Amino acid sequence: MDMHRAEPWLSRRRLLKGAALAAVPYALLPDSRAGAQTGFVDYPLAEWRPASGSNYTVAGRPGDYTIDRVIIHVTQETYTDTLAIFGDPAKKVSAHYVVRSADGHVAQCVHEADIAWHAGNWTYNTRSIGIEHEGWVDQPGYFTNALYEESAKLTAAVCAAYGIPRDREHIIGHYQVPGTGHTDPGPYWDWVRYIRLVNFA
């Protein structure tokens, strides 16, 4: 065995192996912009989790339609399942945003310029931003402090962007949309607290 040739070969091999191993952790880490991909989201604190293009209408709002409402929903599903439903082209449903219960994390699924299919009423869809909240209407434990606070920041930002008054006439529940028969966000949603948070955000 030629020891003089083996040493450089082993050193080069070790060097390449070490460089490859050093690069692996960085390749496995999420992009530092994940959760704040401002190139894709309207709300800078949101993560882009797009709905299927079969589940909303491409538009040019507010040029095409005036945006003058925020509609508050409760998913009746988990956060993860809601995103999967919005991503399924067969479901024909979406919302602009989904807020996670545990920590208030916000996912954006449809651009605000486009029309999400969330209200069950075309006129209300065209003029609103839909925000889904993880949970069930009869399980108030899902309405955490983090969910209220982060959702209120989001709603305040939407209101500021479109000149929407921060009141109950313009920030409404899904149950207030004519002809839908929905009950969300339900009796445990604290509207007084929520509107106060929106106004102080």
State pLDDT tens for residues 150-197: 999 999 999 999 999 999 999 999 999 999 999 999 999 999 999 999
Query: What's residue 127's pLDDT?
Result: 98
Helical (H) or strand (E) element with 14: helix 3-28
Query: What's residue 111's pLDDT?
Result: 98
For the chain, list residues with pLDDT below 50. 1-39
Query: What's residue 154's pLDDT?
Result: 98
Report the helix count and the strand count for the chain, using DSSP H and E.
5, 8
Query: What's residue 68's pLDDT?
Result: 98
Query: What's residue 32's pLDDT?
Result: 34
Query: What's residue 29's pLDDT?
Result: 37
**In which region does residue 93 sit, left (phi positive, over 0), alpha (psi from -120 to 50) or beta (all else)?**
beta
Helical (H) or strand (E) element with 86: helix 79-87
Global pTM? 0.81
Query: What's residue 45's pLDDT?
Result: 97
Query: What's residue 103's pLDDT?
Result: 98
